[in-house]
Amino acid sequence: MAFKFQINNDVTFNHDTKLLKKAAQLTPKLTEKVVHPVMLTKVVPNKSKLDQVGMEKVADVSDLDQMKFQRDGKVVLDFGRHYVGKFKLNIRHVGSPQDAPLALRIKFAEVPAELTYESADYDGWLSKSWIQEEVFHIDQLPVELTLPRRYAFRYVELTVIDTSPKWSAVFSQPEVTAVSSADERTLTPIKLTDPDLQKIYDVSVDTLHDCMQEVFEDGPKRDRRLWLGDLRLQALANYATFGNNDLVKRCLYLFGGMTAQDGRIVANVFTSADPQPDDTFLLDYSLFFISTLYDYEQHTHDQTALTDLLPVAQKQMDYALQYIDQNGVFHEDEDYPVFVDWSNEFDKTTSGEAIIIYVLKQFMTLLKETQQETQKYAAVLQKMVTYSLNELFDPAKNLFVSGDQAEVNVSSQVWMTLADVMPAKQAHDVMATAEKELFPIKGIATPYMYHHVAESLLKSGLKQDGIRLLKSYWGKMIDLGADTYWEAFEPENPDYSPYDNPIVSSYCHAWGCTPAYLIKKYLLN
């Protein structure tokens, strides 16, 4: 994820060297794979909308080193799928001696639409520095130009800003060294009878693959960091696919090793240099440390990690329970908000109540596994469930309501279902009602929220509705050309970008990777 800014740069952090050392020791060696473009292309003109931009083949890759480029000459290399890695290229010149530097712009794009925007025109609030574009002045040709930075892309646009009228630039041997900590050899292919679902599954595996680097990154184009909300979903998809459990463990230790002095875990950490916590705090994200540890333990039964990390987990729960009153009612603190989704157009109180219930149950299981007392937490849980069923559920509507205005929204039904607040039969009925009354969903732009909707449908037995949602959301992205799932997508508004411009949007984003998990857990058996 990546969204609103919190600035808390006066917060002091603990650095638990024992935990951080374990995290460092778990740093994966990335697999490297050299790949070459599959064709030379150009952007199809007169189509500037995200869902209408296409690429057109202009030549075979083998033609590249016969092509001469002067001022404003350009070509787009299509690598055939999304990659994360480093790019290099040989450049020579033909004609008279090189009487001026070569000025060359190289732009990396995950989707064709990015190539239709001029970087200088972008004026959104998100940093322009994320635009994947470099300009080089090369005084001496020939050169093997190896770019030092890592990029996320399918397309590489080479634009000659200028040579001189006396000579031309010629490009050859473009290649990418693609990197990932996902090892394809550990992936057991699955074969689905429904080709659409198969494609949805495959793209989710690619998305996860490209986000798996030295940590589970949220997006390899942007922000390239470890967010707890994304980590929880990536870990679930990882168990269903690559099974790199040590990478999950490393990420848990990173979060566990850098808590604020009040004990809270931050929403995300930076890991490109020495690990450093961000200064953003979200109540649900802090709690998902527990959830991620719970899922990890379900898959690994790693007692050492549990012993190391349960005390940190407990602090998250104890901190969160400050916001639960004696009647089991959750009161949100604006300095420690629940995220639930990017959208702030719906009331999140009931979702927050449900998320705390969801995590509290997992936490109590972990306590029991370590033979610890759960009574205190059981009492709170009981109150919260009772309050939820008695006060938040509206029997007339057969739906949960949220907030002072008794707002009915999708998220409340979804999280109460995921939290197992109701018996299975009732959950089925609630979700069926939600599907009938509240679908198609409007105003939700994140695969993160759509994941929870899809899982609540599948979990409550509404299998066909779940499949329909997988196809109408993740499948729709594929219809629009997605090679990997996007950070943001509103099916009812396919051009929507949270940043008003695709040039800084992330089109390979971790929280979209969950179909592999959902399909394997709910649809394969």
User: Binding segment for its own copies among 74-82, 136-144, 386-394, 492-500 (CB under 8 A)?
Assistant: 136-144
- By CB under 8 A, is residue 205 in contact with its own copies? no
- By CB under 8 A, is residue 143 in contact with its own copies? no
Q: Output 143 or 321, the one with its CB closest to its own copies.
A: 143
Subset of residues 277 to 316 that bind its own copies, contact rule: CB under 8 A = 277-279
Q: Which of 33, 137, 331, 425 binds its own copies (CB under 8 A)?
A: 137
First to last CA, the chain: 31
- By CB under 8 A, is residue 12 in contact with its own copies? no
- By CB under 8 A, is residue 202 in contact with its own copies? no
Which residues have CB under 8 Å from 368's CB, separation 6+? Answer: 374
Binding mask 26-65 for its own copies (x = CB under 8 A): ----------------------------------------
Smallest gap, in angstroms, from Cβ of residue 166 to its own copies? 6
Under rule CB under 8 A, how many of the chain's residues touch its own copies?
44
- Counting every residue written for the chain, the total comes to 525
Subset of residues 150 to 179 that bind its own copies, contact rule: CB under 8 A = 161-166
Hey, what are 123's tokens?
A: 């004026």
Which residues have CB under 8 Å from 383's CB, separation 6+? Answer: 324, 326, 327, 328
User: Binding segment for its own copies among 121-129, 188-196, 468-476, 507-515 (CB under 8 A)?
Assistant: 121-129
Answer for the pair 39, 57: CB distance below 8 angstroms, yes or no. Answer: yes
Q: Which of 102, 200, 267, 445 binds its own copies (CB under 8 A)?
A: 102
Which residues have CB under 8 Å from 235's CB, separation 6+? Answer: 216, 248, 251, 292, 295, 296
Answer for the pair 54, 44: CB distance below 8 angstroms, yes or no. Answer: yes
- Beta bridge partners, 158, equal 75, 106
Smallest gap, in angstroms, from Cβ of residue 131 to its own copies? 8
Binding mask 256-275 for its own copies (x = CB under 8 A): --------------x-xx--
Q: Which of 25, 127, 382, 493 binds its own copies (CB under 8 A)?
A: 127
Q: Output 1 or 418, the one with its CB closest to its own copies.
A: 1
Q: Which of 120, 304, 326, 396 binds its own copies (CB under 8 A)?
A: 120
3-state SS assignment for residue 502: helix
Q: Which of 159, 189, 188, 183 is nearest to 171 (CA)?
A: 159
Smallest gap, in angstroms, from Cβ of residue 108 to its own copies? 11
User: Looking at residue 199, what DSSP letter applies?
Assistant: H
Q: Output 272 or 370, the one with its CB closest to its own copies.
A: 272
Strands (E), 238-291: 268-270, 276-277
- By CB under 8 A, is residue 121 in contact with its own copies? no
User: Looking at residue 514, what DSSP letter applies?
Assistant: T
Q: Which of 290, 291, 286 is nearest to 323 (CA)?
A: 286
Could you give the CA distance from residue 167 to residue 162 in angstroms, rounded to a whole number?
Answer: 10
Fill in the amino acid letter for 131: I
Binding site for its own copies (CB under 8 A): 5, 7-9, 71, 95-103, 120, 125-131, 134-135, 137, 139-140, 149, 161-166, 222-223, 225, 270, 272-273, 276-279
